[in-house]
Amino acid sequence: MTPALSNESELYVAPGGPLFRLVQRIANPGKRPRSVLWRIVGLLLITWVPMCVFAIVQGYALGDTPRRSFLLDFATYARFFVAIPLLVIAERLIGERLTVAGRQFVCDALVQENDYPAFERAITRLAQRRESVVATLVIVALAALGAWTLTYESATGVSTGGWQSVILPEGHTSHYSFAALWNHLVALPVLLFLWYGWLWRLVFWTLFLRDVARLHLRLVPAHADGAGGLGFLEMAHTSFGILAFAVGSVLSAQAAFQIVYEGARINVFQTPVIVVLVVMLILFLGPLLIFTPVMAQTRRDALRSYGSLMTRYNTSFQEKWIDSRGPQDEQLLGSSDIQSLADLSSSLRFVADMGLTPFGRRAVLLLTLATVLPGLPLLLLVFPIRDIIDALAKVVF
């Protein structure tokens, strides 16, 4: 039976908190909560739709160049039709996985009973950070600021002359682009608000894991998951792949625009892809390295204790069955001593194979695939489909 915690209901990361309620209020001004689909539709109605209307009215839906054509901007579609829906869906998908993972510490008796008060305090701190109004205001400010500073024009000081430029040249004069203004004042801040919200959730979830790692965890060094019983954390953190996919989609869409309309070569994007991949792995698997010290100590202690037990058992086995050739009234074939020796040897191998992180190559591979998968269609823009199929066939066969 799972022990009851006084504040177990507060052990969740998302949805909830000021971040969730603010987005709910923006996307759903009614009092009754609506489904994820309604929230996504509401966000699109206040982000992409107004920009499209302004672009049509001002003649920039299909401009004289691809950069001045709102409807030809692949990255815009990726931001608002892929990234925003995925960031909203992630609240349910990732939120539920992390909640289950948090409770698993108690369900699997990894947290000892005398540490329950400390575990409850860790939950309290998680809830306080989740509900922090100050953190919400900081995220809103960063989102509003980032919409103006995290652009090519602000970074280089050179205007691209695209529809995203607030001031567009028109002959010998210039005028404001209302689509660009809405993009900077509303659309991008909403997107950044959702993204920064997830980064903040990742921060206070990491702090929760740090608090748990400081407890006297009862890890199982011979556990079949090879992580001392912490393997459930790997399954929880691979769900962050949905965020990695969202980031990869936006970057791939931007690269596709440059390849299709500006003649960029695909190898130009090799370094940015590697950098983004490394960042995604650090963000989503890095927090689990908090458990490395306790896992390393558990493995060392277990190797010593299991090794000592194995030595004693082997000595007794040799004295009983080899030195004295066994009891006269007991046959070696079918003896429980043989099975016990095999079981103990298997347990020692599990201990020796215990990793130093709660995740393995599977998690790295899944997050890598989630990050680079949106970029695979770029190959179709550069190489014929037949060449790609032939290359894959050579790899597989």
Q: Where are the alpha helices (DSSP H) in the chain?
A: 17-27, 36-46, 48-58, 74-77, 84-107, 116-130, 133-149, 152-156, 178-182, 188-213, 232-238, 241-262, 270-285, 292-317, 336-352, 361-372, 377-382, 385-396
The number of beta carbons lying within 10 Å of the beta carbon of residue 51 is: 25
pTM of the model: 0.86
Of the CA atoms within 13 Å of residue 62, those in its CB half-sphere come to 0
Q: Are 207 and 129 in contact (CB under 8 A)?
A: yes
pLDDT for residue 344 is more than 80: no
Is pLDDT larger for residue 123 or for residue 307?
Answer: 123
In sequence order, which residues have a C-beta less than 8 Å from that of residue 220 and are 6 or more positions away?
A: 228, 229
Work out the pLDDT band at 172, boundaries 50, 70, 90.
very low
DSSP 170: E
Bond prior to 189 in cis (omega within 30° of 0): no
What average pLDDT is seen over the chain?
A: 84
């991949």: which residue's tokens? Answer: 277
Positive or negative, the CA dihedral 27, 33, 34, 35 is: positive
Query: What confidence tens digit (pLDDT) does each residue in 16-72 have?
Result: 777 666 656 655 555 555 678 888 998 999 999 999 999 999 888 888 888 888 999
pLDDT band with cut points at 50, 70 and 90 for residue 309: confident
Residue 165 CA to residue 148 CA, distance in Å, equals 11
Domain boundaries along the sequence of the chain: 8-289+358-396, 298-352
Average pLDDT over residues 223-241: 93
Q: What is the DSSP letter of 124?
A: H
Q: Measuring CA to CA, which residue among 139, 142, 99 is closest to residue 9?
A: 99
Answer for the pair 355, 295: CB distance below 8 angstroms, yes or no.
yes
Closest alpha carbon to 292 in 238, 355, 202: 355
Six-digit token string for 260: 């299709």
Report the 3 state secondary structure along 24-92. HHHHCCCCCCCCHHHHHHHHHHHCHHHHHHHHHHHCCCCCCCHHHCHHHCHHHHHHHHHHHHHHHHHHH
